[in-house]
Structure 1
Amino acid sequence: MGSAASKTRPVPYKVELKFTDVDLVMTWSKPPSYEEPYQYEVKLYKLDENIGHVLVHSTTTDSTTCSFPRDKWDAFTKYYAEVVTMDRVKPKRLHSRSNEITFYKPLTKDGRVLLDTSKPLDAGYRVYEGYVKSAEQSFDKVAVKLITNADHCEIKNWKELNENSYQHVMQYKMSGDVHDAIEKTTFIVMELCHGDTFQEIARSDEVHKKTALLHMMLGLDHIHQKGFAHHHLKLNNIRLTLDGRYFKIADFGISKKESNEQLEMSEEKESDILSAGLIFCCILSRSNADDISLDMWENIITARKPVAIPPLECEEKELASNLIDKMLKCDTAKGRPMKSMQVLTHPFFWDDRRKFAFISRAKDFFYKMNTEVPSDVEQDLTEKMEKHLLDYENRLNWCAVVKGSGKESASVMDGIEESPHGVPYESNRIIHLLRFIRNIGEHYFKYEMLFSGRFANVWPYFSKIFPSLLPELYDILHHYWIYSRATYDFSNLEDYFTTPASSKPLDPPIALVTNTNSYSTQS
Structure 2
Amino acid sequence: MPEEEVTRRDSLVFVTGNHRFRIADKGHTEVLLGLRGDGREVAIKRIEKSEDKKIHEEMKVLREKMYNSRHVVQYVDYTEDQEFAYIAMQLCEYNLEEYIKADNMMTMDKKRNIVKEFLMGLKELHDGKTIQRDIKPSNVLIDKDGCVRLADFGISRTLDPDQSTIETDKAGTKCWEATEIVAKSVGWRYKRSTDIQVAGMLVYYILSGGHHPFGDDFHCQANIADGKYSLDPLMDEEAKDLVESMINPFNPKLRPRIYDILEHPFFWDENRHRTFLKAVGEVDDVEKHLKFTADEDLDSEMKDKSFSTWKTEVTYAKPTPANQRCPTYSALASPQQSQPQAANHCNEPPRSLGVKGPQGVDAPQGMPTPKF
TM-score in terms of structure 2 length = 0.70
Q: 1:168 aligns with which of 61, 71, 75?
A: 71
The Cα of 1:344 is off from its aligned counterpart by: 0.5
Structure 1: how far apart are the matches of 2:217 and 2:45?
A: 25
Map Cα deviations across residues 306-352 of structure 1 (whole Å, 9 max, x no partner). 233332345xx2111111111011322x8421111111010111111
- Asked if 1:267 is matched to 2:170, the reply is no
The Cα of 1:361 is off from its aligned counterpart by: 2.1
Q: 2:151 aligns with which of 228, 242, 250?
A: 250
Match runs of 1:145-160 below 5 Å: 145-148=45-48, 149-151=50-52, 152-160=56-64
Map Cα deviations across residues 402-450 of structure 1 (whole Å, 9 max, x no partner). xxxxxxxxxxxxxxxxxxxxxxxxxxxx42323434544x4135x5xxx
Structure 1: how far apart are the matches of 2:60 and 2:239?
A: 36
- Kindly indicate whether the alpha-carbon contact (under 8 Å) linking 1:231 and 1:268 is maintained by their aligned counterparts in 2: no
Map Cα deviations across residues 461-489 of structure 1 (whole Å, 9 max, x no partner). 63444441233323xx13369999xxxxx
- Asked if 1:356 is matched to 2:260, the reply is no
- Asked if 1:142 is matched to 2:142, the reply is no
Map Cα deviations across residues 63-95 of structure 1 (whole Å, 9 max, x no partner). xxxxxxxxxxxxxxxxxxxxxxxxxxxxxxxxx
Letter in 1 for 2:233: L
Q: Cα distance 1:268–1:481, how it changes in 2: closer, same or farther (>3 A)? A: closer
- Kindly indicate whether the alpha-carbon contact (under 8 Å) linking 2:238 and 2:266 is maintained by their aligned counterparts in 1: yes
- Asked if 1:431 is matched to 2:350, the reply is no
In structure 1, what is the equivalent of residue 126 of structure 2? 224
Q: Superposition RMSD on alpha carbons, in Å?
A: 3.6
Structure 1: how far apart are the matches of 2:200 and 2:73?
A: 21
- Kindly indicate whether the alpha-carbon contact (under 8 Å) linking 1:322 and 1:471 is maintained by their aligned counterparts in 2: no
The Cα of 1:218 is off from its aligned counterpart by: 0.2
Structure 2: how far apart are the matches of 1:503 and 1:262?
A: 36
Structure 1: how far apart are the matches of 2:331 and 2:202?
A: 33
The Cα of 1:130 is off from its aligned counterpart by: 0.9
Q: Cα distance 1:256–1:247, how it changes in 2: closer, same or farther (>3 A)? A: same
The Cα of 1:268 is off from its aligned counterpart by: 3.1
Match runs of 1:402-421 below 5 Å: none
Q: Cα distance 1:503–1:218, how it changes in 2: closer, same or farther (>3 A)? A: farther
Q: Cα distance 1:199–1:492, how it changes in 2: closer, same or farther (>3 A)? A: closer
- Kindly indicate whether the alpha-carbon contact (under 8 Å) linking 1:168 and 1:215 is maintained by their aligned counterparts in 2: yes
Identify unmatched segments of 5+ residues in structure 1. 1-18, 22-102, 364-429, 448-456, 485-489, 507-523
- Kindly indicate whether the alpha-carbon contact (under 8 Å) linking 1:170 and 1:250 is maintained by their aligned counterparts in 2: yes
Q: 2:264 aligns with which of 316, 338, 346?
A: 346
Q: 2:243 aligns with which of 319, 324, 328?
A: 324
Structure 2: how far apart are the matches of 1:308 and 1:239?
A: 26
Structure 2: how far apart are the matches of 1:209 and 1:139?
A: 34
Match runs of 1:201-240 below 5 Å: 203-240=105-142
- Asked if 1:129 is matched to 2:47, the reply is no
The Cα of 1:248 is off from its aligned counterpart by: 0.5
The Cα of 1:295 is off from its aligned counterpart by: 3.9
Match runs of 1:43-54 below 5 Å: none
Q: 2:311 aligns with which of 471, 475, 484?
A: 471
Match runs of 1:379-458 below 5 Å: 430-437=282-289, 439-440=291-292, 442-445=293-296, 458=299
In structure 1, what is the equivalent of residue 89 of structure 2? 190
Structure 2: how far apart are the matches of 1:501 and 1:253?
A: 35
- Kindly indicate whether the alpha-carbon contact (under 8 Å) linking 1:198 and 1:235 is maintained by their aligned counterparts in 2: no
- Kindly indicate whether the alpha-carbon contact (under 8 Å) linking 1:168 and 1:219 is maintained by their aligned counterparts in 2: yes
TM-score in terms of structure 1 length = 0.51
Q: Cα distance 1:155–1:466, how it changes in 2: closer, same or farther (>3 A)? A: closer
Map Cα deviations across residues 193-218 of structure 1 (whole Å, 9 max, x no partner). 12332433664001110000001100
Quick check: which has more Rg, 1 or 2? 1
Secondary structure in structure 1 of the residue aligned to 2:145: coil
- Kindly indicate whether the alpha-carbon contact (under 8 Å) linking 2:129 and 2:159 is maintained by their aligned counterparts in 1: yes
In structure 1, what is the equivalent of residue 175 of structure 2? none
Q: 1:299 aligns with which of 223, 226, 248?
A: 223
Structure 2: how far apart are the matches of 1:248 and 1:357?
A: 32
